[in-house]
Each structure stands twice: as structure tokens, then as C-alpha cells.
Amino acid sequence: MSTTSALGGVVRRREDPALIQGKGLFVDDVNLHGMLHVAFVRSPFAHAKITSVDTAAAQAMRGVRAVYTADDVRHLGLLPAQAAAVGRPLLADGEVNHMGEAVAMIVAETRAQAQDAVDAVEADYDRLPVVIDLKEALANTNLVHEGVESNTLITWTAPFGMEEDGLNELRAKIDGYKAQDDVVVVSLEMVNQRLIPVAIEPRSVVAEWHAGYQQMTVHSSSQSIGAVASSVAIMLGIPYNQVRGIAPEVGGGFGAKLALYADELLIPWAARELDTPVKYTETRREAASNTIQGRGWLGTATITGTRDGQVLSYEIDAICDLGAYCQDLTVAIPFLGVFVGSGQYAFDTRMQLDCVVTNKQTTDAYRGAGRPEAIYYIERIMDAYSREIGMDPAEVKMKNFIPSESFPGATSPVGFAMDTGDYAMNLQAMLDSPEYGAMKLARDELRSDGKLVGLGMSTYVEACGFGPSALVDLGFSWSGYGQPSAFNGSGLVRVNPDGTANVIIGTGPSGQGHQTTWAQIVSNELGIEMDKIRVTHGDTKDAPVTIGTFGSRSAAVDGSATFEASRKVREKAARIAADLLEASEADIQFADGGAHVAGSPDKRVEWAAIAEVAYQPHRMPGGEEGGLEAHAIFSPGNATWPFGSVACLVTVDPDTGDVSIEDWVSMDDCGNVINPMIVDGQIHGGIAQGVGQALFEEAIYDDEGNLLTAGLIDYPMVTAVDVPSFNLSRTTTPTDVNPMGVKGIGEAGTIGAAQTLVNAVVDALAPLGVKHVDMPMRPRRVWQAIQDAKASA
């Protein structure tokens, strides 16, 4: 497929004036006449039988309109999910499986009344043994779900699709490598800890039932409003076109608002039961224990390689924490780790990811989703191996990269077709950059001053822009939500009679700037000025069916659909313009708000004039259909595979273990770039979230399954003051998967970041004998690593 040149212009985000003035419309801003409010009674225990729930006192309280328990909603079934194995009841049914699980739902006239009634519900529990530790979960010491005979719900292996026999052969082959006497085997057990995805806007749902029309309107702060609307339709037993789903502004999602939640069904259900609008907005504490969490791997990574840097094999054996129930893509997230496998390298790779249930909140997609975990392990162990053999990590990488000649069309060692890549070129660009040079000099200078200073490096590749369309055939599909769509994108472009354009897309932003980027795509194709293009998203009433915003897919997939829809409109407009200008269709070009004949800029016609004809079909040339709009579905043949090289410089305070990031360089390659400023912004935020994981963030559960970090006071979230100013540069390797040549960039920053920082800290502490520091590298842990190294020296 041919690729266009980069669109490439910095255009200021059109959505920002409303957002930064506090004038954006979010779900919690929706206030309907007579609207009722919801609060949930939540389990204080991680695992218990519910012996009784007495709601009488709560029912009798001022303003309380209804109190519901499992008995009221059991008939609605379990929460639908993709690739589910153990589904979640809408309200806990006989048993609670994680702290914060909803046991009863209160609907009252005010939010405060609903909250007061929560305290009046008497629930009794018989506590059960809890499963918190991942190794114990794997050993089935205790079971999370009675009747599910193993806590391990699924084991993902790689190479993908290889049967047990093949895997055994591979094991034997790797054992053969290990038995050679000229090789080193480097192995580390490392934690990729659970995180709480913190969006500025907590999740919120408002539902309104129009009894007269048998219609439901549901507003939800969702990354996939189509899935919400279709599941509500199924649950209520009404057709899809009787449900209108609206996701207005979404104040950050990071994957956590992709999953469908029980409250997204319960609120519409209650609105119909009570025939009154109902609202629920999570509190910050609920956002920590009721919204999905991310990551949660405990794994051992092993590299076997020669002393001169030739890696023979990579192995990872990890336990992945699913939490209590499988929600949306829960079991699929570790699979995305298999998708990227051993990253950019060409050596034999064996992976085994045992996915276990535990008595903790469900895990699901969090920025990067499976890929930061996988890249973390390979990049940490590559660094440890380089250190072990005393070679520059960049040199080791260069020796082991999948060669550029393999692209396009390389197959990764775990068996997936990749699009385009040139890893050596990208790494060399970073190594040659003045910023990287300065960083190396600074490291040497600080080191000679006696400072504990370290330079860390990581490269990454990710699979994103999901696609391929046929991913559904692997069992990941929205059909459980009543939306049998594949991993496609959708876009609709309409030029109005006055020459303005409407662009209606199925995917919506949660901060990514769709309003701006999509207008750029269409403006570039049609030559209509940006300010005459209106981009609409997030309302299933108008939107073409798509599956939502996640996995860095919006631009690559839905953007491509919009691009193709624009092309269709342009082709038709060219025919009309050719007729009006008495020129050949092939000579028509679009720019500056109209069409002109190539080489004769004054032979031109404005878009309004073209539209005028289009909307008066009797004036159209040769049997042309009326109207000036087109819809396109883009069905990608593959994911896109962006990549990059990252380095950072840190100093460590030897007395306290405090890590300071002194400098950061990132050389990313996401193919063609639509808006460089927006791409930079995505990388900034992405790196920050990776830094947060590396330095402070962790969802900490105690042995009883209490979430100790349920508020921001105990969950130190990364902010702008914690990160340096980033030096960002790019190489450009367009993808061949879509017509714009763009790859996803929403998650790349995160995927490249955490291990870069750990590698840097280990570089700083290596002279003391430290080989690894687990994340989060809070000062006490770094200090402890120094003490332990000193003690064993």
C-alpha cells in the first residue's frame, strides 16, 4: 500500500480553550430534572461469604428511593466481557472476592443521602482465606473461586501457536545453549508491580429512560461508548437503536475506561426501574478500588548468550495477576505481552505467562497494557547481560536486532508479522544526537566528582493500532456486548451545502486531541480550512459503529477510515468540479477552500459551489448521486509496530536512596506524524507514567487483601514536578499497514520509560555491586539495595 507524505504541521489543539477554562462538558456536569444519585455499599473484606445484607434501615432513610442487592439484579446476568473466564456479578452474589466489591446499591434524592444510607446497610460476612501472593495463587494453596479448580485461568505461551511438543523441543534447544561452555546465563526475578490508573476525571454514569419512546440515553465516561450502548440494549432487551450512548469529554482514560463496568449497566437499569434519571460518579477512593488496575507481573527473565554479545535465547516465565474477576480484556492483556514477545530482537524466545486470579481488584488495560511489562523484562535482562559480559548495551543491541533488511514483512521470533522497522538506524540516531552525547559527558564528569550517577538505556518496539481486523478470530471481540465489530475503524465525512464539513468518528478522545488531528486529516485531503471542519465523536446517535479508543489505535485505524472517507468525497467533488470548470477530472486539485485546475489557480470553484451542485442532484453531471458525504470502514491487515530508543541520566543520593532524573533523551519512530506537537504531548505523558511506575507508584495490598493505597495521599502519583524536560527527537519509518503511514504513539512513551530508569539506577549502583532494584524504586528500596550490596561485598 502506498503511503502519503507526513501531514506534519503543528496545529494548536482546538479542544484546549474549553478544557483549560473549565468549560468542557463531562458526564458529571450532566444534571437532569429530578435526577437521583447512587452510592454503593462496598465490601470491607477481600474474600468472604456474605451471610446477610439487611437493607431495611437504609430503605427507611430520608430521601432513599431504592436499595438493590444481588437478589434484584441476578436475572440481568454477569457483566459481559471479552475473553472472559470468570465473570463478575453486577452486585456481589453470595460472596465477595475483593475489597471494595459492590454489595448493595443505594438510590437516593441527593448524593449525601445515598452516602448516609450506605452506613445504615448491615452486611454480615464469614471470612474466607485470601489469595494475595502470586506464587501462592499459582500453587493453588487457596482458591479464589469455589468451583473453579485452579487459580490459573489461562497460560499464554510463545512462540504463539506452538504446541507443547514444539515448546519442549525449544526448551531442549535452549538447554543445549546453556550447556555450551562459552556462554553466560543471566537470570533475574523481577516485579512489574500493580498500578492504579489515575484519571483526573473519575468514572461517571448518567442514565435517562424515556418511557414514552422506550428509549434509553446513557452518558458514560467511557473509551468505548458503543460497547456501553450495545450492552445496555441487550440487558434491557431493547434494540441498539433505542439506546443512545454519549461519552462527552473524557478526562483521561489510559485504558481503565475501556472496560465495561457493572455500574454502566446498573445505572440505566435503575433509571428504567424507577423511571427517573439516575447518576453515579465514583469517588477518588472508589476509582482506586473499583476501577480496574494495571500490570501486576512477577517474572523471571533469562538470557543465554556468548561472551561477545551474541544472544542465543531469551526466556520469560511470569505469573500475571488477573485480580478477582475477568472484566473486559483482563485475560487478553498478558497476551499483548506475547504479541511484542522479545521486542526487537532476532533470537530464540520462549515465554510462559500463567494468568492467575487473586482476591484483588481486576486488572485490565493500563497505558501499554501487557507491552510495558514484556518490554520491561526483555530490556532489563538485556541490560543485565550486557553488564555481565562488560559490553556497551548499545553494541549488544546492534548485534541482536532484527536486521532492517527483514522489513517490511519481518516475522518476530514469537511468530507475529511485523510491519516496518529499522532499529539500528533509530538507535544510531539517538547515539549520534548531541543531547545523548552531552548526557554521556555529564555522567563521566559527575562520576569523577564522586557522585553516584548512572546512564540507562532502553529500546522498545510495540504492537499497537489494533488491528489486525482478524484479531477477533483469536477470541477477542465485542460480540459479547452485542457489537460484532472486528478491530476496524470508521469515519464519516460530510461536506455541507455551505462548504463546511462535518466529520463524525466512532472513536473519541480522552486527551489525545482527536478534534485537532481529524480536522487536519480532512483539511489536508479536501483543502477545506480547519476552522470550517467540525469533528463530532462520542454519541452513538450519529457515530458510525466502531470499538473505541485504546491500544494507540485511533489515528492508525479510525484516522485511516476518515482519510479514506475524505478521499471518496474528494473524488466525487473532483468530478463535479471538473464539470463546472470544464476541465479534466485528473487535473482537479484541492486547496484553500476550493478546487482548481492544476497549473491555473484562477480557474477555481469554492467548496460551497461544489456542494450547491451536489445537493441539487438534477444539476449533477452524468447520473451522479446526490449528496457530498462518504463513510469508510478501515480494516487493518496488521497492528502497527512503532519503536524507539530512550536514555536517561540519574543521580542517586547514597545517604537516602533518593533518585533524581537529571536528563532524558527519547528518539521515537511512529511513522508519519500528523501533528508533531500532539505526538510530543503523548510522549511526554507516556514517559511521565513510566517514570511514575519506576519511582513511586504501586497498588499495595496487605496480607488480608486491604488496599493500602486507596487515596492519592498514599498513592504518590507522578506529576510535572517529578520529571525533567524531555529531549524528544524522531526518525520516520512509515508503516505499510495504513494509507497515512502512521503508527500509534499513545503508549510508546510509557513502554520505553520504566526500564530506562531502572537501568540507569542500576548503572549508578553497579560499582557498589547492585544488580537489580525492583520498582517502584522508592528511596527506601534504593537505600536498602545499597546496604545489601555493601553487606555482601
Partner 1 sequence: MFPREFEYVAPSSLDEALGTLASNPGAKVMSGGMSLIPMMKLRLFSPELVVDIARIGGLDGIEDRGDHIAIGALVRHETTAASPLVQQHAAALASAAAWTGDRQVRARGTTCGALAHADIAADQPAAALALGATMVAASSGGTRDIAAADFFVDTLTSALEPNEILTEVRIPKSSGSAYDKLGRRGGHTDYAVAGAAAAVTMSDGTVSSAGVALTGVGTKPTIAAGSVEAIVGTDGSAEAIAGAVARATEGVTVLEDLYGSAEYKAHLAGVYVGRALEQAIAATG
Q: Which is nearer to partner 1, 632 or 688 (CB)?
A: 688
Q: Give the containing element (helix H, strand E) for 438.
A: helix 434-448
| Nearest distance in Å: CB 778, partner 1 | 7
- Cα separation, 399 vs 90, in Å, equals 52
696 sits near partner 1 (criterion: CB under 8 A): yes
Which residues within the stretch 609-648 sit at the binding site for partner 1 (CB under 8 A)? none
| Nearest distance in Å: CB 106, partner 1 | 12
Take residue 104 and report the three cell numbers written for it: 448493595
Among 228, 481, 778, 785, binds partner 1 (CB under 8 A): 778
| HEC string for 250-284 | CCCCCCCCCCCCHHHHHHHHHHHHHCCCEEEECCH
Q: Which is nearer to partner 1, 119 or 189 (CB)?
A: 119
Q: Where are the alpha helices (H) located in 180-255, listed in sequence order?
A: 225-236
| Nearest distance in Å: CB 185, partner 1 | 33
700 sits near partner 1 (criterion: CB under 8 A): yes
Q: Give the containing element (helix H, strand E) for 454.
A: strand 452-461
CB–CB of 776/689 below 8 Å?
Answer: no
Q: Which is nearer to partner 1, 459 or 651 (CB)?
A: 651
169 sits near partner 1 (criterion: CB under 8 A): no
179 sits near partner 1 (criterion: CB under 8 A): no
CA distances 128 to 48, 328, 359, 440, Å, are: 5, 26, 10, 55
- Cα separation, 384 vs 187, in Å, equals 8
Q: Is the peptide bond prior to 509 cis by the omega test (within 30 degrees of 0)?
A: no
708 sits near partner 1 (criterion: CB under 8 A): yes
Take residue 481 and report the three cell numbers written for it: 456486548
Give the interface segment with partner 1, choosing from 17-25, 256-264, 364-372, 703-711 (CB under 8 A). Answer: 703-711
656 sits near partner 1 (criterion: CB under 8 A): yes
- Cα separation, 572 vs 623, in Å, equals 12
111 sits near partner 1 (criterion: CB under 8 A): yes
Among 16, 592, 714, 788, binds partner 1 (CB under 8 A): 714
Among 659, 665, 737, 786, binds partner 1 (CB under 8 A): 659
Q: Which is nearer to partner 1, 232 or 652 (CB)?
A: 652
Buried b vs exposed e over 198-209: b needs ≥16 C-beta within 10 Å?
A: bbebbbbbbbbb
Q: Which is nearer to partner 1, 113 or 349 (CB)?
A: 113
| Nearest distance in Å: CB 85, partner 1 | 33
Q: Which is nearer to partner 1, 48 or 718 (CB)?
A: 718
The end-to-end CA distance of the chain, in Å, is 59
Q: Is 600 exposed, middle or buried (0-12, 13-18, 19+ CB in 10 A)?
A: exposed
Q: Bridge-partner residues for 96, per DSSP?
A: 48
748 sits near partner 1 (criterion: CB under 8 A): no
How are beta strands 501-505 and 122-127 bridged, if at all?
A: unpaired
| Nearest distance in Å: CB 646, partner 1 | 20
783 sits near partner 1 (criterion: CB under 8 A): yes
**What single-letter amino acid sits at 180?**
Q
| HEC string for 59-115 | HCCCCEEEEECHHHHHHHCECCCCCCCCCCECCCCCEECCCCCEEEEEEECCHHHHH
Please give the angle made by the CA atoms of 101, 106 and 111, to the nearest 5 degrees.
105
784 sits near partner 1 (criterion: CB under 8 A): yes
Q: Which is nearer to partner 1, 448 or 719 (CB)?
A: 719
- Cα separation, 501 vs 485, in Å, equals 27
Q: Which is nearer to partner 1, 12 or 780 (CB)?
A: 780
Q: Which is nearer to partner 1, 31 or 719 (CB)?
A: 719
5 sits near partner 1 (criterion: CB under 8 A): no
Non-local CB neighbours of 376 within 8 Å, separated by 6+ positions: 190, 192, 754, 755, 758
Please give the angle made by the CA atoms of 635, 155 and 751, to the nearest 5 degrees.
55
- Cα separation, 165 vs 220, in Å, equals 47
Q: Which is nearer to partner 1, 120 or 430 (CB)?
A: 120
788 sits near partner 1 (criterion: CB under 8 A): no
20 sits near partner 1 (criterion: CB under 8 A): no
| Nearest distance in Å: CB 700, partner 1 | 7
| Nearest distance in Å: CB 783, partner 1 | 6
Give the interface segment with partner 1, choosing from 318-326, 679-687, 764-772, 780-788 (CB under 8 A). Answer: 780-788
Non-local CB neighbours of 317 within 8 Å, separated by 6+ positions: 299, 300, 351, 352, 354
| Nearest distance in Å: CB 119, partner 1 | 8
- Cα separation, 745 vs 84, in Å, equals 28
- Cα separation, 610 vs 71, in Å, equals 61
Give the interface segment with partner 1, choosing from 141-149, 272-280, 624-632, 778-786 (CB under 8 A). Answer: 778-786
Among 586, 721, 791, 793, binds partner 1 (CB under 8 A): 721
Q: Which is nearer to partner 1, 280 or 634 (CB)?
A: 280
Q: Which of 685, 695, 717, 718 is nearest to 510 (CA)?
A: 685
Radius of gyration of the chain (CA): 27
591 φ, ψ to 5°? -165, 160
| Nearest distance in Å: CB 764, partner 1 | 14
Q: Which is nearer to partner 1, 616 or 660 (CB)?
A: 660
- Cα separation, 467 vs 449, in Å, equals 51
387 sits near partner 1 (criterion: CB under 8 A): no
Q: Which is nearer to partner 1, 591 or 708 (CB)?
A: 708
Among 3, 4, 59, 115, binds partner 1 (CB under 8 A): 115
790 sits near partner 1 (criterion: CB under 8 A): no
| 3-state secondary structure at position 28 | helix
Among 722, 732, 768, 789, binds partner 1 (CB under 8 A): 722
* Number of chain positions touching partner 1 (CB under 8 A): 31
Q: How many residues does the chain have?
A: 793
Give the interface segment with partner 1, choosing from 451-459, 677-685, 712-720, 738-746 (CB under 8 A). Answer: 712-720
CA distances 584 to 574, 578, 580, 594, 745, Å, are: 9, 6, 10, 16, 40
Binding marks (x or -) toward partner 1, 272..291, rule CB under 8 A? -----------xxx------
Name residue, grid cell 477530472: 585
| Nearest distance in Å: CB 405, partner 1 | 45
Give the interface segment with partner 1, choosing from 66-74, 175-183, 619-627, 658-666 (CB under 8 A). Answer: 658-666
112 sits near partner 1 (criterion: CB under 8 A): yes
Q: Which is nearer to partner 1, 200 or 211 (CB)?
A: 200
| Nearest distance in Å: CB 286, partner 1 | 8
Cα atoms in the 13 Å half-sphere on the side-chain side of 510: 32
Among 655, 703, 791, 793, binds partner 1 (CB under 8 A): 655
Among 12, 127, 780, 790, binds partner 1 (CB under 8 A): 780
32 sits near partner 1 (criterion: CB under 8 A): no
Q: Which is nearer to partner 1, 163 or 655 (CB)?
A: 655
Among 63, 415, 637, 779, binds partner 1 (CB under 8 A): 779
Please give the angle made by the CA atoms of 383, 384 and 390, to the nearest 5 degrees.
90
| Nearest distance in Å: CB 109, partner 1 | 14
Binding footprint of partner 1 on the chain (CB under 8 A) = 111-112, 115-116, 119, 283-285, 655-656, 658-660, 695-696, 700, 708-709, 711, 713-714, 716, 718-719, 721-722, 778-780, 783-784
